[in-house]
Every structure is written in C-alpha cells, then in structure tokens.
Amino acid sequence: MVTKFHIFSENIYSDWEIDEKKFIQLAKKILKYYLAKPDVYDKSTLLGLDFNTISFDILYCDSVKTHEINKEYRHKDYPADIITFAIFADSDEKFVFDGEINLGEILIALDKIKEEALKKGVKDEEELAFLISHGILHLLGFDHQTEEDYNFVVALQIEALQSIGIKYEQI
C-alpha cells in the first residue's frame, strides 16, 4: 500500500498568493482519506496494482488558461474552474515505475474559485479545497456523467473535507 505521496504544485496566477505547502498537505490528507475507504479504493484505477508512491501535479492558474486548454484538448469553448489530465486513469496501460504511480495533473482556475466561493457564500480556501478533492477523484478514475455519479462524487468530497476539519456544504 501507499507509503509516500509526491504532490507538486505551481501557482502562475498572480492575484492570489496561496499557501502551496498548506494545500499540498491538504491534498495528501484527502488522498489518504479516499484510499482508506474501500468503496473508493475498490472502484479506483489503483485496484490490484503493486505500488508504494503516488504522485501528481497541481497547477494554479486563471480561467484564461483553462479556457485555452479546454478549447485545445477538450474542444469545449469555455473556461473551466478545474481540468484534470488523469493520465493514469485514462490510459489502458497502467504504468508503475519503481513502485510509483503518476496520476496526472489538476489545473485549477483561481479566479473561478473566487467567483464560485462568492456565489456559494463560502471562503475562497474552502472552495479551493473542494475543487482539489474533486480533482483527486478524477485522477483516481471517478467521473460524474450521471446525476447519481455526480451525487456520489460530491458526497465523497464533502466527507473528505469534513474528515480533515473543513465544514463544507454544497448549495
């Protein structure tokens, strides 16, 4: 089972100096929570694999960047609050190198996070934590094409945040 997490982040959005170290620790706690839940781990892309390290990247950017990426890679002409490149989950080949799995990358538009937090009446950092938890689920192979899947994913996100002391209520 996992003994190490390597989470790398970079913030290229100059209007919000987030504490990257804090959010890396938060992401580790959320990932540990998900992996400890059999109903998550057993449905994840990791099931049955031999590994001891999980890695992924988080890029904090703006909606101009997510719009550009959405258009180029997903053929969708709008900015997204979050985009995940779940390279491990989306590949038929499950490549484990020296016991390490690279799940992929999460891109988060911090300006969209601020907008959404204001709409929902939550703190910016709470909304950011909510989106990080969402991105991690995508990296683990979860999607939400149906309302049932969406409700399952959101409930997991809220549970994960509450498990680490963040009270978040979906509006």
Q: Rounded to an integer, what distance in angstroms lies between the CA atom of residue 12 and that of residue 3? A: 30
The strand pairing partners of 53, in sequence order, are 4, 100
* pLDDT surpassing 60 at residue 27: yes
Q: Is residue 28 part of a domain?
A: yes
Q: 17, 11 in Cβ contact below 8 A?
A: yes
Q: Across the chain, what does the average pLDDT equal?
A: 93
Question: Can you give the pLDDT at residue 1?
Answer: 62
Say whether 9 sits in a helix, a strand or coil. strand
- Please give the residue range of the domain that contains residue 123: 4-163
- % of the chain with per-residue pLDDT over 70: 98
Q: How would you list the strands of the sheet with 82-85, edge to edge?
A: 4-11, 53-61, 100-109, 82-85
CATH number for the domain that contains residue 142? 3.40.390.30
Q: Is residue 27 part of a domain?
A: yes
The model carries a pTM of: 0.94
Cα–Cα distance list, 48 to 33, 41, 51, 72, 88 (Å): 18, 10, 10, 34, 14
Average pLDDT for 61-70: 97
* pLDDT surpassing 90 at residue 170: no
Question: DSSP characters for 45-90?
Answer: TTTT---SEEEEEEEEE-HHHHHHHHHHHH---S--SEEEE-TTTT
Q: Is the dihedral angle over the CA atoms 48, 51, 52, 55 positive or is it negative?
A: negative
* pLDDT surpassing 90 at residue 79: yes
Number of domains the chain contains? 1
Question: Can you give the pLDDT at residue 91?
Answer: 75
Q: 30, 40 in Cβ contact below 8 A?
A: no
